[in-house]
Amino acid sequence: MPPSTEETASAPAVEETTKRPSEEDAVAEIAKKAKVDADADADAKAGPDLTKTHAYGKLILFGEHFVVYKVPALVGAVAAYTDCSIKVEDTDEKDSSNDSETGVVKIVDNRPAVPNYKTKKAEEGKKAIDLVLNHFKIFGKGKKATLTFGGNLCCASGIGASAAQVVSLARAVKETLPQYAKLTEDEINAAGYEGEKGYHGTPSGIDNTAATFGGLLKFQRTDGEPIFEKKAIKEPIRIVYASTGITSCTTEVVGDVRSKKEADPAWFDDLLKKYCDLATKGEKALEAGDMAELGKLLDENHKLLQDLTVSSKELDDLVDAARKAGAIGAKMSGTGRGGLMLALTPDEATQNAVAEALEKVAPQVWKTSFQ
C-alpha cells in the first residue's frame, strides 16, 4: 500500500502567527518591490494566480445525511485544495467539441484521484460545470473556454472533491472574467451550491460552504440561506483519514435514505433525535477541547450511521483497524457505502501509528489536522 500523505499547509481558517518585521524582512520587501514590473509581465504570460482559486476538501465530524434534514452539523475543511484556470478564446461555432449548452467548453482534469473516481464521476462533473457556467451565464456563441482543474486534493468519495471543483471554478470565473471581479465569498458559495446539484441532486450545501470558507464550521441548512459559523478550537485536532477505494453516488445514497425515512418515519425520527443529542455534545466537547469525549461521540456517531444503513463492511473494517491502532474515535465520513472514514488521534505518535495501521488495509491514507 502507498504511504499516507501529510498535508502540510494549514486549513484556510487558521490564524497564522504574525511574524515580527525584521531587517531581513525589510530587505526582502525592497527586493520584492523591485521585481514587481518583471513579475507582472511574467504573470500576464503565465495566466491567473491559481492560489486565488483554491477550494478545500472537507471531512464531516457530525452530520452527514442528517444535515439534509436541516439539523446542525460540524465539518472541517482539510488543507488540500482544488484549483482552476480558465482560458477563453474565440472559436468557430461549428466546433464538434461543442457538447455544452453554455458554449464550447473543454475540460482538462489534472486533479489527483483514487482509481475509477474520475470515470465514475465524469457525467456528474460535466453537469456540475455546466450548472456553474449557466449560473453565471457565460461563454455564449463564438467563444471557447478551456477549464483546467488541478491542485493537491486527491479526489475520493467523501472528501468533498465535487464541491472543491465547482467552488474553484467559481473562483476562477471571478479571477478571469472582469465582469465577475466583484463576486463576494457568499456569491462564490452560492455558485458552488448550484454546481453541487450536478453531483448531489439536492445538496445540503455543507460541502460547498466548507470548500469556500474553510476552517471548522457549524453548518445548518434552512428553508432560506444556510446558517454557519466558524468554530474556534483550543488545540489542533489530529486526524487520519482513509479511503475504501469505492466511489459511491451521493444522489443514490441520499435518495435511499429518504425512501427509508418515508417508509418508516418513526425509525428515522428516533435516529435523528439521537444524532441531535450527539451533535450538541460533540460541539461542547470541541469547545472544551475534550478530545477523549469527542472521540467517544465520533464512535457513537459511527454506530448511528450503521443503523442508518450508510456504512459498509469496508468502512467498518477501517474504523476497527484505526481504533485497534490507538485512535480515540473513528467513524465513516461523507456519503458512505464506500468512500471515506476518519480517525481522531490525540498526538503525533498515535497519528503516525494509526496511519501506518491503515496503510496495511486501505488503498489511500492521509493525515491532516484541524486548527
Binding interface with ligand MEV (CB under 6 A): 64-65, 67-68, 160, 200, 203-204, 206-207, 250, 254, 334-335
Residue 191: CB minimum distance to ligand MEV, A:
16
Residue whose entry in the numeric block shows the C-alpha cell 435511499? 256
Report the C-alpha gap between 169 and 147 in whole angstroms: 8
Output 138 or 249, the one with its CB closest to ligand MEV: 249
Residue 295: CB minimum distance to ligand MEV, A:
21
Residue 195: CB minimum distance to ligand MEV, A:
13
Residue 66: CB minimum distance to ligand MEV, A:
7
Cell representation of residue 115 = 482509481
Q: How many CB atoms neighbour CB 239 within 10 A?
A: 24
Residue whose entry in the numeric block shows the C-alpha cell 473513528? 330
Output 50 or 271, the one with its CB closest to ligand MEV: 271
Output 96 or 259, the one with its CB closest to ligand MEV: 259
Residue 7: CB minimum distance to ligand MEV, A:
19
Q: How many CB atoms neighbour CB 283 within 10 A?
A: 18
Output 298 or 325, the one with its CB closest to ligand MEV: 298
Residue 316: CB minimum distance to ligand MEV, A:
18
Structural element, H or E, at residue 135: helix 117-136
Residue of closest CB approach to ligand MEV: 204
Report the C-alpha gap between 276 and 105 in whole angstroms: 43
Output 67 or 156, the one with its CB closest to ligand MEV: 67
Residue whose entry in the numeric block shows the C-alpha cell 488521534? 345
In this structure, what DSSP letter does residue 100 have?
A: B
**Read out DSSP for 316-349?**
HHHHHHHHHTT-SEEEEESS-SSSEEEEEESSHH
The three state secondary structure string of 136-171 is: HCCCCCCEEEEEEEEECCCECCCCCHHHHHHHHHHH
Coil, helix or strand at residue 36: helix
Output 220 or 335, the one with its CB closest to ligand MEV: 335
